[in-house]
A and B are shown apart, each in its own frame.
Chain A
Amino acid sequence: MAKIQVCDISFSYDKETNAVEHVSFQIEAGSYTTIIGHNGSGKSTIAKLLIDLLEKDSGSIIVDGMELNDENIYTIRDKIGIVFQNPDNQFIGATVADDIAFGLENHQVASEAMEQIIQTYAKRVNMSRYLLSEPTHLSGGQKQRVAIAGVLAMAPQIMIFDEATSMLDPQGKAEINEMIQSIHRETGMTIISITHDIEEVSHSDHVIVMDQGHIVMDGKPEDILLREKELVALKLDIPFALKFTKGLQRKGISCRLCTTMEGAVEEVCRLHSKN
């Protein structure tokens, strides 16, 4: 059974226009799903509905076999961790250690046990050296890593990244993207990443494309990313590898269309060595 089943949910901020309208989708356990769409398409609203930070107007959300309602919301929230966009808006503690401890304290974890957990997850995100550092002395990427550690410390089954890299510099972006991938690989956790980064999409298992509160495409990245015209009409990027391999086809080369850079290099080398 799917890890998350969303059935026909709608939500409106102003009770006039729906930010999310009749949306249904499924997320498989252990998958890495990316959700894309231009600003204002409803992506982040979906993330907030999943953890009931916003309350849906209609429809149902089933997480791990449980239908989200007022009684089990806290049980469900324990299963889902979320990392937001702005590194400065989610740093609560006075130090790195305090920040990682925040969720644990809320769950009344014994202080002896807490110490150990903090160490473990600080290490996991390569922040052990900074346990006593204050947020003002950390880069954006480091703050996001601390946010990730705080979420991991709660041992969720699902992690949502809501544009977690969009405010970071290239180095910070690369760090966080690598971290997301390694968490997925090592823990088999279900990952949902809301993103603008088409390269990240090409490395995920499943992509959902949103526009004006609706899901307009849902499938495997290698299929979806080939639908160039639709993506462009939705004001989305298409992978550079696709532009390139399409260009080769236009020149009369019978090459396969690729969505990743590695794929394109491999394909061109294959053609080159043929004969």
Chain B
Amino acid sequence: MPITFKELSHEYNLGTPFAYLALDHVSLAIPEGKVTAIIGETGSGKTTLVQHLNALLLPTGGELEVAGRTISSNEKPKHLKALRKDVGLVFQFPEYQLFEETIIKDVCFGPKNFGVDEETAVQLAEKYLRIVGIDESDFHKSPFDLSGGQKRRVAIAGILAMDPQVLVLDEPTAGLDPQGAKEMMQLFSRLNKEYGKTVLIVTHDMEHVLHYCDEVIVVADGHIREQCEVHEFFRSVELLKELKINPPAVIRLREELREKGFQIPDDMIDVEQLIDAVASEVKGHE
């Protein structure tokens, strides 16, 4: 079952002079089993949108169906705990939320909260710490002795240890170095392909959208501006311009060369194909 938003609105500070409509009658279906990118300018409503997925925010209008449950504006959701187990939400800079004495204890916190016994929790923690790439020799160290990127992996392992069906990540690579960011994106891709998780990623990085995501949802001013497949998205350069999106390098080069008169198809998004196309055109001139 896809995650479905039906006419969902969210207004902050409802009924006060500071009321602010962050999401305005949003209708949306997010497919299961895919990696979906949620993009849009700062302040467009992306974070508000994803925080509804595990009922951290409740709609002020409309409703949403996720993981077999309905969350609507006029009733308190039942079985909130089970929902939060099924939908794992990783905040921006999750490393600030680490708190335990040791890495392994930090990761055990989530599963134990959901009623898993100590031994199983430790097994889960070890499994997911390995998956995110934390060295076994570090398991009993303080999480605060790790580098920023490593801390973030531990925080993500903490969410994974609850074995959610849906994994929602709010700007998971912000502030990481390029290699760290790449490894992080590869991890999410693996969680999707090997473990069948539905992955939603809020991001500003178009290279990541191009290389690791299947679908794109563009949020603008509290509305869904666009939803399409990644390939389709990077084809329409007009839309990218309108949305003030700096396209991935391969698209920028493709467009510059097309402007200079090269005969390159507008759906080309792979660097090797672009090299082939340019090479054969240059050779043709020799």
Interface residue ranges, A against B (CB under 8 Å):
38-40, 85, 139-140, 163, 166-167, 169-172, 174, 196, 198, 235-237, 240-241, 243-244, 247-248, 250-253, 255, 261, 264-265, 268-269, 271-275
Closest to A37 in B: B177
A54 and B147 alpha carbons, distance in the complex (Å): 19
Contact segment of B77-85, B119-127, B224-232, B271-279: B271-279
* B42 CB-CB contact with A under 8 Å: yes
Cβ contact within 8 Å between B42 and A272: no
Contact B256 A38, beta carbon cutoff 8 Å: no
- Give the distance to chain B from A177, nearest Cβ to Cβ, in Å: 11
**B256: chain A residues within 8 A (beta carbon):** 261, 265
A75 to nearest B CB, angstroms? 34
Bound together, the chains give a CA A187 to CA B87 distance in angstroms of 52
Does A248 lie within 8 Å of B177, measured CB to CB? no
A193 vs B204: C-alpha distance when bound (angstroms): 22
Measured CA separation A174–B41 after assembly (Å)? 13
B250 in the interface (beta carbon within 8 A): yes
Chain B residues positioned under 8 Å from A172 (CB to CB): 42
Chain A nearest Cβ from B202, distance in angstroms: 11
Alpha-carbon distance A261/B256, docked complex (angstroms): 9
CB distance from A171 to the nearest CB of B (A): 7
Fill in one digit per residue for B247-263: 1 if any A CB lies within 8 Å of its CB, else 0: 00110110011001010
30 contacts between A and B (CB under 8 A): A38-B179, A39-B148, A39-B176, A39-B177, A39-B180, A140-B42, A163-B175, A170-B246, A172-B42, A240-B249, A240-B250, A241-B253, A244-B253, A247-B275, A248-B275, A251-B275, A253-B282, A261-B253, A261-B256, A264-B253, A265-B257, A265-B260, A268-B260, A268-B262, A268-B278, A268-B282, A269-B260, A272-B285, A275-B285, A275-B286
A237 in contact with B257 (CB, 8 Å):
no
A261 to B244, CA, bound (A): 19
* A residues in contact with B278, CB < 8 Å: 248, 268
The residues of B that contact A171 with a CB separation of less than 8 Å are 41-42, 244
Q: Are B244 and A236 in contact (CB under 8 A)?
A: no
Measured CB to CB, the nearest residue on chain A to B246 is A170
CA distance A28 to B208 in the complex (A): 37
Interface of B is mostly: helix
Other-chain residue from A169, A243, A265 in contact with B271 (beta carbon distance below 8 A): A243
Interface size on B, residues (CB 8 A): 38
**Contact, CB under 8 Å: B178 / A196:** yes
Please tell me if the beta carbons of A251 and B246 are within 8 angstroms of each other in the complex. no
A244 and B285 in contact (CB under 8 A), knowing A38-B180, A236-B178, A261-B256?
A: no
Least distance between A172 CB and chain B CB atoms (Å)? 8
Contact A261 B178 (CB under 8 A): no
Closest chain A residue to B43 by CB distance? A139
- Check A139–B42 contact: CB distance below 8 A: yes
Question: A169 to chain B: which residues have CB within 8 Å?
Answer: 41-42, 204
Q: Across the interface, do A166 and B282 meet the contact criterion of CB distance under 8 Å?
A: no
* CA–CA, A243 and B177, complex, Å: 19
A40: nearest residue on chain B (CB-CB)? B147
Among B43, B252, B272, point to the contact of A247 (Cβ < 8 A): B272
- Which residues of the other chain, A, contact B257 by a CB distance below 8 angstroms? 265, 268
Q: Bound complex: CA of A252 vs CA of B250, how far in Å?
A: 21
What's the minimum C-beta distance from B231 to chain A, rounded to whole angstroms?
Answer: 19
Query: 1/0 per residue B96-131: CB within 8 Å of A?
Result: 000000000000000000000000000000000000
For chain B residues 166-188, which have a beta carbon within 8 Å of chain A?
A: 174-180
Alpha-carbon gap, A60 to B175, bound state (A): 31
* A237 B178 Cβ-Cβ under 8 A: yes
Instruction: Report Cα–Cα, A139/B204, bound state, in Å.
Output: 15
Docked CA distance A273–B281 (Å): 11
CA distance A174 to B88 in the complex (A): 32
* B285 A261 Cβ-Cβ under 8 A: no
Bound complex: CA A40 to CA B174 (Å): 16
Instruction: Select from chain A the residue with minimum beta-carbon distance to B180.
Output: A39
Q: Give the residues in chain A near B285, CB-CB below 8 Å.
A: 271-275
B176, B177, B245, B262: the one within 8 Å of A272 (CB): B262
Q: Which residues of B contact A261 (CB under 8 A)?
A: 249, 252-253, 256
Among A39, A40, A171, residue most surrounded by chain B Cβ atoms (within 10 Å): A39
Is B42 within 8 A of A167, CB to CB?
no
Q: Note all chain B residues with C-beta closer than 8 A to A269.
A: 260
Q: Chain B residues near A273: list those with CB within 8 A.
A: 285
Residues of chain A within 8 A of B41, CB atoms compared: 169, 171
Q: Are A235 and B252 closer than 8 Å at their CB atoms?
A: no
CB-defined contacts of A241 to chain B, threshold 8 Å? 253
Rounded to whole Å, the gap between the CB of A201 and the closest CB of chain B is: 12
Query: Can you name the residue of chain B whose Cβ is closest to the Cβ of A199?
Result: B249
A140 to B279, CA, bound (A): 42
Q: How far is the CA of A251 from the CA of B246 in the complex (A)?
A: 29
List the 7 closest A-B pairs by CB distance, nearest first. A240-B249, A247-B275, A235-B179, A251-B279, A237-B178, A39-B177, A38-B177
